[in-house]
Amino acid sequence: MAAFHPTIGALRLPAACPSPVQAIDLDLLPSDGDAAFRHHNDPLFAVIDPDTVATDFRAAISRQADLQVLFGGISFAIRDLPAGYQAEHRVYAARRELRIYGHPSSQYFKSWATWGVHLTSLLKEDLQHCACVLCAVWRHRAPANAAVNVGLPLVPGGAVGAALAATVAREVQRAREQVAQEECVGFLARAAEVGDLAEWQRRVVHEALEKIVGGDGVCR
C-alpha cells in the first residue's frame, strides 16, 4: 500500500518517492593507482574494510559539487576503490590517522575530501589538470613521460558512464550466479533425500553441498 501524508484539510497525497541511489564500483574505473605504496601485514597500519570505506567516503564527499555534476545530480554510493588505492589507518598508541595510499607520487591523502578531488579527475579522465594536493606538487617533479604513466585511457562515453554500465553488468552477473547456485543447491538437496542412494553417492552429494553452502549453511 502506498504511503500517504496529510496536506490541506482531509486531502491526502502519496508521499514523495525517495531519490534513487546509483551504485558505482570504483575498481572498474581507469586508475593511476600504484599498489606498491600500500601496506601489507604491517602492524603499524590497519587496512580499512570496504563497508567502512563506503560509509566514510559518502559522509565526507557525497555532496561534492563536481561529483554531483558528473553523476547528474543523483544520489550515489561507492564500492571499493580504484585499482592500486587502499584506505588505511596509521595506528598510534592513542589514536588512528586516516591515510589513502596509491597515488603515483608515493604520498598519501589525509582525508576523503582531499582524495575526492583526485577521484573527480579520474572520473573526468583528466589527471593532467588534477587540482588535488598531491598532483599539484608532484606535477613539478614528475618524470618526462608522466602523461603516459598517469594519463587515463579514453573510455567511449566517459569513465562515469562506462563504470556505471560495468557496475550494473556485474550486479546482473552476480544475480544470475546466485540463481544458478540456488538451483544447484535445491537439486542436490532433493538428491540427498532419495532413499535408495548408494552410500558413496550420498557422500558425494553431501560433499558437493558443503562446498557450495559451507558448514555454516551460508552460500559461498
CA distances from 163 to 114, 159, 177, 199, 209 (A): 22, 6, 21, 50, 35
Containing structural domain, residue 30: 17-153
Domain annotation covers residue 8: no
Do 175 and 198 lie in one domain? The reply is: yes
Check pLDDT > 60 for residue 93: yes
Q: What is the pTM assigned to this prediction?
A: 0.66
Residue ending a domain, among 135, 153, 171, is 153
- The per-residue pLDDT for 193 is 74
- The per-residue pLDDT for 17 is 47
Do 112 and 217 lie in one domain? The reply is: no
Residue ending a domain, among 107, 136, 153, is 153
Render pLDDT for 58-91 as a digit per residue (tens, 0 to 9). 666 655 666 666 666 666 677 788 889 999 999 9
Do 56 and 165 lie in one domain? The reply is: no
Q: Which residue has the cell 587540482?
A: 131
Residue ending a domain, among 123, 153, 183, is 153
- The per-residue pLDDT for 86 is 92
- The per-residue pLDDT for 6 is 41
Render pLDDT for 192-218 as a digit per residue (tens, 0 to 9). 777 777 777 777 777 777 777 664 444
Ramachandran sector of residue 9 (left: φ over 0; alpha: ψ -120 to 50; beta: rest): left
pLDDT tier, 108 (very low <50, low <70, confident <90, very high otherwise):
very high
- The per-residue pLDDT for 13 is 43
Count of domains observed in the chain: 2
Domain annotation covers residue 209: yes
Domain annotation covers residue 68: yes
Q: What is the DSSP string of 61-82?
A: HTT-HHHHHHTTT-EEEEES--
Pairing of strands 21-25, 75-79: parallel
Do 138 and 161 lie in one domain? The reply is: no
- The per-residue pLDDT for 80 is 83
Do 108 and 146 lie in one domain? The reply is: yes
Do 182 and 114 lie in one domain? The reply is: no
Render pLDDT for 34-62 as a digit per residue (tens, 0 to 9). 899 999 889 999 988 877 877 777 666 65
Do 193 and 170 lie in one domain? The reply is: yes
- Selected residue with higher pLDDT from 103 and 220: 103
Do 96 and 181 lie in one domain? The reply is: no
- d(CA 51, CA 213) in angstroms, rounded, equals 23
Do 30 and 89 lie in one domain? The reply is: yes
Domain annotation covers residue 107: yes
The mean pLDDT value of the chain amounts to 75
Do 107 and 191 lie in one domain? The reply is: no
Domain annotation covers residue 162: yes
- The per-residue pLDDT for 110 is 93
Domain annotation covers residue 2: no
Q: Which residue has the cell 607520487?
A: 105
Do 96 and 122 lie in one domain? The reply is: yes
- The per-residue pLDDT for 97 is 92
Do 60 and 111 lie in one domain? The reply is: yes
Domain annotation covers residue 184: yes
Domain annotation covers residue 214: yes
- The per-residue pLDDT for 4 is 40
Can you tell me the mean pLDDT for 164-179? 78
